[in-house]
Every structure is written in C-alpha cells, then in structure tokens.
Chain A
Amino acid sequence: MTTLSPPPTAPHESRAPTPPGLVGSWLRDLGIGLRFAVAGGREGWFRTLLTAVGVGLGVALLLVTTALPNALQGRHDREMDRSELRYGDTLDKAADDTLLFTRVDTEFRNQSVRGRMLQPEGPRAPVPPGLNALPKPGEMVVSPALRDLLTSSDGELLARRLDYDVVGTIADDGLVGPGELAYYVGADIPGASPENGADGRIDSFGEVRTDRPMGPVLVLLVVVMFVVLLMPVGVFIAAAVRFGGDRRDRRLAALRLVGADGQMVRRTAAGEAFAGALIGLLIGAGLFLAARQLAGQVRLDYVTVFSHDLDPSLLLVLLVAVTVPASAVAVTLFALRGVVIEPLGVVRTAKPSRRRLWWRLLLPVAGVGLLYPMFGQGDGNGDFNQWMVTCGVVLILIGITALLPWLVEACVNRLGGGGLSWQLAVRRLQLSSGTAARMVNGIAVAVAGAIALQMLFAGVEDDYVEPTGVDRSQAQMVVSPRGDSSATEGLAETDSRLRAADGVRRTMPHASTWVSAKPTSEDSEAQVTVGSCAVLGLMAKLPSCRDGDVFAVDGESRELAKPGTKLYFEPIWGSDDTEAPPWTVPASVRAATAVEDPMGNITGGLLVTTGALPQEATSTLRGEIYVQIDESVPDVREHVRNAAAMAGPYTRTYELQATQVDDDFRTVRKGLFIGATCVMLLIGVSLLVSQLEQLRERKKLLSALVAFGTRRRTLCLSVLWQTAVPIALGLVLATVVGITLGAVLLKMAAASIAVDWAGVAAMAGIGAGVVLLVTGLSLPPLLRLMRPDGLRTE
C-alpha cells in the first residue's frame, strides 16, 4: 500500500481519551510495573525474586528484632510469676497456707540449674506456676529439658546429684524458656525454718512484680544497639530493591520506545520495586514464622525462647508492612533521579556533578549536635531522651552513606600507577564510584555502629564488670555447708567427702564467727577465723604456727585482741535466755599481716587455730571450704558439686571467677556480637548478588578480553581490587565515624574515653572477612563467565 493519506479514523476513536488524574496515572503505571515484575518471563521473575528474597531476609530480621522486646517481656513475666519475693514483713509463723522454700540451684557443665526445695507447712500451701501439686518429700518435678538431660548418658553425673524420684514435668508457664533446666523437690525436714536452713517462708508465688528499670547507660546501650543493627538492614533492603537495575533500565527503555514518557517509566520502575517488596514482605513473614517455629529449638548461650513469646507488637508489624514497600518505591525513584531513560537506551547524566562535601558533613554534625546536650548524663540519675539518642545515632550513621560516595570518588580520582589489574580496577571505580560506594555502604554502617558499641561497652565495662580479685591458682571452688547445727562436724564431714571426690587436690576448710567485748552488744566486733595452720597461712603471713596458736591481724580489731581481754562469741543483742560463750584472749597471741586469701578477701580480726577454740564456740561457726582441683580430670567440677550435695541439701558450691560480669551486661554484649555477625552476613549476600550482576553485565567484555589473551589472573585480581579499594575506604571511614560515635556515647555515659583497638580490629576484621568471602564466592562464576562462549551472540 502506497497511499499517503491517513487512514480513516473511526468516530469513537477521534475523541481523545481523558487523561487520568495524578493518582490514576500512578496506579496505572504501578500496575504496569507490577505486571512486568511477575510476567516478565524468566528474567523478570528472577529479578523480582532476587529483590523479594533480599527484602524478605531484611523483613524477617526486622520482625525478629521487633519481637525480641516482647519475648524478653514474656520471660520476665514468668520469672516474676514464680518468684518467692514478697512485700512487707516476713512470715514468722507457720500456717496451713505457708511453704518453706530453699534455693537449691546448682550448675552443670556451665549451665545453671534452677532448683527449689519446697516444704509445705499446711494443706493450703501455695503451688508454683507450672505445677499441679507440690512434690512429696524425696520426689521432684523437673522441666522437660532437665528430664531429657537426666535420662541421657550425658546427665549421669547430675542424676547422681539430684537423686530424687521424677514424678512430673513443669509446664511452660512455670519456665522462662523451653530449654531451661529447673526442678522443684519436695522436702520434709523436721525443724526446718527460715532461721534454720530454709531460705524463706511464703504464702504465695509471684506476689512481687518488679519492673526493675534499666540504668540509663543500659538504656543507651540497648537503644544504640537496636539502631546499629537495624540501620544496615535498612541499607540492605534499599540495596535489594535495586537488584537487577541495569536490566530493568533496558526494559524501561523499550517502554519509552512504544511511547511512555519519562514520568511513566519511573512510576513503572517503582511498580516493579513495589511488587518485589510486596512479595518480599510475604517471604519475610514466612521466614519469620519459620524462625519463630525454630526458635524453641535454638539456644543462644543457654538462653532459649518459647515460640509463642516471639510475637512482634501489631503496631510494629504494621509499621514494617507499610514502610518497606513505601521505601522500595522511594528508593527506586531516588535512584532514577540521575538517570535519563531514552527510547534507545539508558543515559546516565553524562558528567555527574562533582559530589559536594558540605551537605554530606551536615548529617553527622547534626547527629553529634543532637547528642551533645546529653553529655555526662549517664553519671547521675538523669535519663536519656530515647528519641534524641535514636535520631542522633541514626544521623551519624546515615552520614556514612552520604560521606562514603564522596570519599570513594575523591580518593579514586587521585589513584594511578600500578599494574594492569590495578589500572582496570581504578578506572572502573572512577567511572562508577557511586555503585562501588553503594556496595559497601551497608558494611560500613554496620562496622561503624559495631565499633561505637564496642567502645561504649569497653568504656562502661568498669561499672559492670567487677574484678573479683580471685587468685585462681590456690583454689577454684568454694563449698559452704549451711544451716546445720553442728557446724564443725558438718564441715569435717563435707571436707572428707570432698577430699574423696575425683580430681580434688586439696581442701582448705575453715570457719568464721564474731566476737565482741560485751555479751549483748554489737559494739567492738571482730571477725574470728578458725582453721588449721595451713589454711590460716593462706590468709595472713604467720611468723610460725602450731595448733593452739592465736593471731591478731592488723586493723581496728587490734585493740580487742589484747592478751587477757574477755570476749564473747556471737553476742546476741537484746537476747535474754541464751548466753554468748565467753573466751579470754590467750597471752600467746601474736601479730600477723593479712594477705589476700584465695577469694580475694583481706581477712581481719583474729585467726584462731582449731585447738585454741573453746568447745562452746563451735556452734556459732559457719564453715567454708576452699577447694583446689585438678583441671585435667574430666568433669572435675561436677564431682565436687556431687560430693558437696551428698553432704546436705543446703550445701552451696561456687566457682571462683576472675571477674564477675553483670548478667544484663553479658546478655547485651552477646546480642551485639550475634546481631553484628548476622547483619554483616546478610549484607554479604547483597554484595554477592550485585557483584554477580555486574559480572554478568560484563560477560561479553570479559570474553573479549580473554580472547585477546588476557590472563585470568589479571581479571580476577582486578575484581579483587575493585572490591577491596572501596571496602578499605569504607572501613577507614567506618572506623573514624565509629570511634567518633563511640567517643560521643562515652561522653554521654560520662565514662572515660578509650579506644578499644582490639574491638575495632575485630569488627573491621569481620567486615573485611565478609568481603573476602564474597570475592571468593564470586570467583567461580567469574571464571565461568570468562569462558569464550560469551562471544557467541546467537
């Protein structure tokens, strides 16, 4: 047909369709994008799935993180429900609704076992949560985890210690977590009372519900930790939304060719990202539910969580559900701002304007500005404004993502020289420094946050970690028999049991009591420590020692310890009927200089050898045995604990530790390490994906280069440089920002500023490790891409 006249138009077509409104066009173009995302053939699906899986991983992590406070609350609630603490006065008298309890906690291979010995004093005695009835004497009710442990061969030693009949299991509402080891054992000890062995008398469980507020510094730590962990997840989601961007741009160009305008394709792109984010939300929810299901079986440092505890609050879930797709759209539109999609291809604005420094610096400066007013508040009781802390930290960390592109550009443009692989890498970075910076943004943010937290931890550690001053070379365990009327006999019996136990090298039994100058006063008291010459020698430098000797250790009790002074053991104030046993300080008393004992204590007062103690005084003694063990004997600690448990139900066993860490603090730090590692691995995944994507884009070029005879080593090295240079810059920036942020946080906590270089190195090391891992994983595909098949166009 050669006619040039326009084809006749049908009457109904002559009317131009009314242009849709803004909302209408948005919906239409988003719809096109959605269809592209799911109906784009294998390629389209792959891209959408990539985004969806990335977003899904991020969403799952978000949900778990937001569920954690609830989970911790659930644990705390149940902990409170079974607590024996009570308000007001102690119950002095037994009644038909009272119960005597004794804490018979023990430890088994570093796991603590919660134990309570319950002795009802009447038929209406309270029953702890999770139990139907109180166990009868000699019977015990155990948690499922403890039951499994006791019946396994691993738990044989513990079964010997808890030698009671198992008659039931504790239900979930009586346990803080599914993996908790706990037991209740029934007892019927005649004459037991809070004054004699038992820990207390109660008429109900869970009367006191404390919501012990965390200290301001702990609050600071937790808030910063959440921000530090969630920020990289955000960065990761932003990166995931842009997976496969280059291919998408080409498809959009095709859309332009058939008549879509610039705004339309932008909205279509947003629609694609939206679809990925929506599917990602579903995947995230699925992953979260799976993780929640698995949570019951996962233990982090012996902490376990019930699946039903892991419930994020509805508000946070809604927030995630709205924010993630919305930010997917926003990120896409933002990313396309420097890109012009022409019908015949994508043009990145030819010369991107030089990146400016000033506004990028504004972000961290504003962050520091927000935090500045709170300097020094951790000192007193002042609370931190959580919103200001959050915003300040977020701004400082976001500053990294703003500063890094500038830094990479500025540095890379000054690089030169070097071999061919270096040249290839540098030139590539110069051409697309933005891409390179984006790739490492997440890692940099994570590392900076982790470094800051690490510093904060190290800085406030003094407050939370108390050096116990224990010399662990002399003794590693302490056993203290309690509540027994015949203290010295009990001590001797316990001592002989311990000495018979496997792996015990030496026992150092000793006992202590008080003396006073008056029979009924608490004035002028002095401590009296009784033991053999060898044991007393651990507490003071003795000139010489034989049984029957008495020593006065320097200190305020010197006055009291003059020869001939009449003293009374355990003077009971206000008491009438009993009389404190009297004792006259013998003339042979000698001075001695106290030294730190194996517990790190300085013993004052009088040191009395066993033979010098009057018989009447033995009833006032409280015994304690230092135990030196042979670490090479397997399960030596369990043998000691078993031997101690044989001696009596009230016998306590402790392990001496060089430092004593506040429990809260330990949990927080564990959380940080686990979280940081997870986040960095997640970011590693996104790094890997974008790395592979870039390689695939360059398939043809790589094949051509190999055709020229380029060594594969050269190309591999150039890929390594290409990743290593921005990562190195990112880590340097992250270290600087991290240390700055750490210093600011320490200032707020009013702690002295010290850089924990080991921590910095560890965090930077994890970051660098992730990069190496990613580069390593991308090498096999790279080698495959470099095969000459890439030259084939058909």
Chain B
Amino acid sequence: MSIGHTLLGLLESGPRHGYDLKRAFDEKFGHDKPLHYGQVYSTMSRLLKNGLVEVDGIEAGDGPERKRYAITEAGITDVGAWLATPEKPEPYLSSTLYTKVVLALLTGRDAADLLDTQRAEHLRMMRVLTDRKRRGDLADQLICDHALFHLEADLRWLELTAARLDKLGKAVGA
C-alpha cells in the first residue's frame, strides 16, 4: 500500500495540517494500525521534494505539525494515475484496493471504473495461469490452481464491492 498516494489523495479535498492528515488517515484506513506521526512527516517531506505538495502556510508556534499542506497539480495527476493503474494481481491486495476505492469515492473519481480495470487485470492474470496450467505438468497445475483460487477470491471481492459502491460512498462521504 502506498501511504504517499493515500495522503496525497486525502489532501485533494483541501489543505490540511499534518496532524489532521494523520487523524483522517487513521479514521478511514488505519483501523488496525494507526499511522505514526513520524511516518506522516517523512512522507510529506518526500512529497514536498517531488513537488507533489506545497506548504500552504505555517501557523505560529513550534514543531513541524503546524505546517499546512496543499496538493499541487502534479500531485493531483499522480493520484489519478495511481488510481487508474491496476494493482498487480497478487494475494492479499484487499487493503490497497480498499484504500483506492475509498479515495476514488472521496475525490469524486469513478470507483466502478477502477474496479473494472482491476477486474480485467485479474482476469488477464487468470488467463495466463490457466494457459500455463494447461501446458504444464501436475506440479504446475497445482501451483497455478492455488494462485487461481486466490485471484478468484479477489475477483469476488471486486464484484461484491462494485455492487456496494453506492453504500460505501455514503459511508465514507459522511
């Protein structure tokens, strides 16, 4: 999962303090492990260096947490590209995919499109595996089948999420 892209996405709805960012992240994605503040700081400084965010203002007081960040045009483009690129189908993608879907919903991008793209990528992978399975020996078949079953599970999740996009949109938008 890319924390950088996630934080960038969160900034798309408006400039925030680093601390706000952490809180928003924890609230929406960090259910089991909250983000360390240090992680936010180092990520933001990397994004600053790459020109994807800019400092919108610094409030009086001490400590870096007073900085307010805003996303740049380049940052918006980067988030868009990230969301549009399907993840490499591999097991346990769900947290990344979930983050992507929520961000797409939050930033008003087409989440269904995102899911479909991912779905096509998964199916392409499954086709490759199916093909390899057909040519390979028993060991190949078993390995491919293992992967295929995991991919199938992901695909089911994708389908289910696609069917529940409206509900999810309401939940995260609130």
Direct contact between the two chains A and B in their complex (CB within 8 A): no
